[in-house]
Structures are given as structure tokens and as C-alpha cells.
Amino acid sequence: MIGVGPRLGRVARSPIHPLLFALYPVLSLVAWNIQEIYLFQTVRSLLASLLLVGAIWAVLTAVLRDLRVAALLTSLAAIVFFTYGHLYNQVEDLTLASVNLGRHRFLVPAIGLALVAAWAWVLRSRSRVADLTRAFNLLGAALLVVPGLSILAFLARPAASVDEATTRIPDVRLSPPDGPAPDILYIILDGW
């Protein structure tokens, strides 16, 4: 890598992308909903995502005995796992010859086959692992830029506006705390 210091070059070649792809979905949701949640509420989700991806990475590393190839396979699996719901939402109403193709029974095998094909391609092209690792590291880091900046911008707001934003969900009560309980009517329309 021309013009890049030796440390940065080593980091670019180190497979950190599975962890970046594990962080992105959670941080993206945090950035999108930053005014409705507290940051400490995301710790459990971040840890669960990192542990899941880390466990898959560890198992694949033990089986393949190659950290970089295992990292690429793990990243591909993480991408498929975290984007499946979005893909399903896009093809949910897709029909062909009056058959609804946007159903899980069609989509899961198709996505599974695509993942297996991608894994097979990575396993066959081990000579490209270093280049793929750099590309996946760059992609993972690029994905974290926007949610990271959104979260930092929210945290950097003046204290007064942060205090206003910490009143996330108003305290809604059906009756005053020292008043009588409200009458609740439950209506069931029978024979409609």
C-alpha cells in the first residue's frame, strides 16, 4: 500500500470486518432512533451481535485453520443474516404465474444457495483473500461512518437540548396519581 504507514497497512490487512458488520445493524438502529432510546439500552444488543458473529468466526477458524478466510465467510453470513428482513420486505409481494415468490419457503433456500455459492467462491479463490479482506474492512468501516456521525452529533448537542431529548416518552397516566381510577369499557361486537 503506497503512502500508508506500516501500522495502518497492517490494520487494513487484518480481518476486522466481521466485527464491523456485527456493529453496523445495531448502531444504525441506534442512530435512527437516537431520540427515543438511551444509549445504555443498546449495550446488550451490541454484545449479542458481536458474540454471535465472534462465535461463528471462531468455529469457522477452527474448522478451516485460516483466520482471513473464516472472517470472509463470517462476514458474508452476517450480511445475509442482517439484510434478510429488508430483502423479504422488498420481495414480499413478488408473484410469478400467480405464485407468490416473496415467501420464506422460497426466499430462505434462494438466499441459502446464494450464500453457499459465495462461500464456495471464497474458498476457491484463496489467492484473493488479502484483497478481499482490505475491501471488506473498508466497506465495514464506511458503513459505520454515517451512524457513528449521527450518534456523535446527537451526543455533542448542548446540554439543554440533550436534557429535553432525554424526556423520550412522556409519562402518560390514565388518571391523576391521587385521583380515582378511570372506568374502562371493553366492547365486543358479536355477530358482526
Q: What is the model's pTM?
A: 0.71
Q: What is the residue-averaged pLDDT of the chain?
A: 83
Give dist(CA 14, CA 110) in Å, integer. 31
Tally of domains in the chain = 1
Give dist(CA 174, CA 179) in Å, integer. 10
Give a yes or no: residue 27 inside a domain: yes
Asked if pLDDT for residue 174 goes beyond 80, the answer is no
The 10s digit of each residue's pLDDT in 32-80 is 988 888 888 889 999 999 999 999 999 999 999 999 999 999 999 999 9
Give a yes or no: residue 79 inside a domain: yes
Contacts for 52 with CB less than 8 Å, ≥ 6 apart: 22
Higher pLDDT residue, 77 or 177?
77
Give a yes or no: residue 174 inside a domain: no
Give a yes or no: residue 89 inside a domain: no
Cβ atoms of residues 100 and 44 within 8 Å: no
Give a yes or no: residue 151 inside a domain: yes
The 10s digit of each residue's pLDDT in 101-133 is 778 888 899 999 999 999 999 989 878 888 899
Give a yes or no: residue 45 inside a domain: yes
Cβ atoms of residues 10 and 130 within 8 Å: no
> What is the extent of the structural domain holding 79?
7-83+128-165
Give a yes or no: residue 160 inside a domain: yes
Give dist(CA 151, CA 148) in Å, integer. 5
Give a yes or no: residue 117 inside a domain: no
Burial 129-167 (b: 16+ CB within 10 A, else e): beebbbebbeebbebbeebbebbeebeeeeeeeeeeeee
